[in-house]
Amino acid sequence: GTNSYLVGDPATGYIAIDPGPADAEHLQRLWRAAGGAIRWIVCTHSHADHSPGAQPLQAMCAEAPPILGLPSAPTARAASRFTPDRAMADGERLVLAGHGPDGDVRHTLRVIHTPGHAANHLCLVLEEDGLLFSGDHILNGSTTVIDPPDGDMTAYLDSLDRLNAACEQGGIEFILPAHGHVLGFAPRAIAQLKAHRLKREARIVAAMQARPEGAMDDWVRIAYDDVPERLWPVAARSLLAHVERIRALGMVA
């Protein structure tokens, strides 16, 4: 269920974004779609459905393209350990250039460090086309899980603000997530997502005030009563991230 993307064309070669898990059939399709001409492999973050396919894909390519991204932080879980061949810098640009049938061709991918879902999460802007590759920071059809200690809710919300500014400055209208279909009206989608998070946070504050001696399970039951009970164990991870933020900001005594 992880979306992998290829940026480029036959004249320039390609950048592969999020090769996903080490699924041989999927990696073969990705390699064939690029004609084997993969210049870089970029992982938006280290989770097991995003980065494990990077090394097998690299081994399939004749020139062994470097694997780029950010190394996992010490807070990452054991299943999410990741060390790229080279760490990327916030604001760095990867440039593919070549000469096609209609003249010179250029594709520029700019890095935006967006911690929150994971400490080493990054998003990518394709500048020539005004596209935002959002990894797991922005999804279509669901909200991403913020799972402490590697996940951090304040960092997540701050990163949403960074992405919104990038969309406004770059005229970006489309978001390409790692799960789900493409999102249009990018600034509006980001604003709605942030409003949803803050609305949920307000419900959690209310639950904590109503049950000050309660445990996480009590607060999940109150704050997520609009979510199917089978999803409460997952919701509890994001609730913990909200609780840590709420306490850090002194929103509840």
Please give the average per-residue pLDDT across 136-163, as a whole number: 96
Query: Residue 253: what pLDDT?
Result: 75
How would residue 233 be classed by pLDDT, with cut points 50, 70 and 90?
very high
Query: Residue 98: what pLDDT?
Result: 94
Query: Residue 142: what pLDDT?
Result: 84
Whether 238 contacts 204, CB under 8 Å: no
Say whether pLDDT at 101 is over 90.
no
DSSP for 126-145, written as a single string: ETTTTEEEEETTS-SSSPPP
Cα angle 38, 180, 60 (rounded to 5 degrees) comes to 20
The tens digit of pLDDT for each residue in 112-149 reads: 999 999 999 999 999 999 999 999 999 998 899 999 99
More confident residue, 186 or 79: 186
The tens digit of pLDDT for each residue in 201-222 reads: 999 999 999 999 999 999 999 9
The number of CA neighbours under 13 Å toward the Cβ of 163 is: 36
The tens digit of pLDDT for each residue in 50-81 reads: 999 999 999 999 999 999 999 999 999 998 99
Query: Residue 168: what pLDDT?
Result: 95
Please state, rounded to an integer, the average pLDDT across all residues of the chain: 96
Task: Quote the percentage of the chain above a pLDDT of 90.
Answer: 96
